[in-house]
Amino acid sequence: SQQGEEDPQALSIQEGENATMNCSYKTSINNLQWYRQNSGRGLVHLILIRSNEREKHSGRLRVTLDTSKKSSSLLITASRAADTASYFCATDDSNYQLIWGAGTKLIIKP
């Protein structure tokens, strides 16, 4: 079953703008991870945030986690054409199994 639900399903913005994607989940988690997938390729790990963390940064990426609302957001600042991809959140539940969302398709227009 899918636990993570990304929002929006698709997002199209101009190069240079910021992109924000959200992920909601249902049960308690150990950690939440974000991955990027370029069309038809394997997924690439972006960032992992643990349940006791509230915010994490990695380059142009900022991830927040609100365990009371069971939600997370991924912010990509100063977007580039190369950021065009699908973005997935995955939650590590108490069974140490990753549960994946359906993804947000991000398109960066030049």
Partner 1 sequence: KAGVTQTPRYLIKTRGQQVTLSCSPISGHRSVSWYQQTPGQGLQFLFEYFSETQRNKGNFPGRFSGRQFSNSRSEMNVSTLELGDSALYLCASSARTVDTGELFFGEGSRLTVL
Tell me the per-residue interface mask from 7 to 46 with partner 1, x by CB under 8 A, - otherwise. -----------------------xx-x-x----xxxxxx-
22, 64, 100, 107: which one binds partner 1 (CB under 8 A)? 100
Is residue 48 close enough to count as binding partner 1 by CB under 8 A? yes
Cβ-count burial 6-41 (b if 16+ within 10 Å, e if not): beeeebebeeeeebbbbbbbeeebebbbbbbeeeee
From 101, 84, 72, 87, select the one nearest 13 (Cα to Cα). 84
Is residue 49 close enough to count as binding partner 1 by CB under 8 A? no
Q: How far is the CB of 72 from partner 1 (least distance, A)?
A: 15
Q: Which of 12-20, 57-65, 69-77, 94-102 is the region at the interface with partner 1 (rule: CB under 8 A)? A: 94-102
Are 74 and 81 in contact by the 8 Å Cβ rule? The answer is no
Are 28 and 96 in contact by the 8 Å Cβ rule? The answer is no
Q: What token pair was written down for 25?
A: 């989940």
Q: How far is the CB of 17 from partner 1 (least distance, A)?
A: 26
Is residue 76 close enough to count as binding partner 1 by CB under 8 A? no
Rounded Cα distance, 110 and 16, in Å = 9
| Residues found near partner 1 in the complex (CB under 8 A) | 1-2, 30-31, 33, 35, 40-45, 48, 88, 92, 95-103
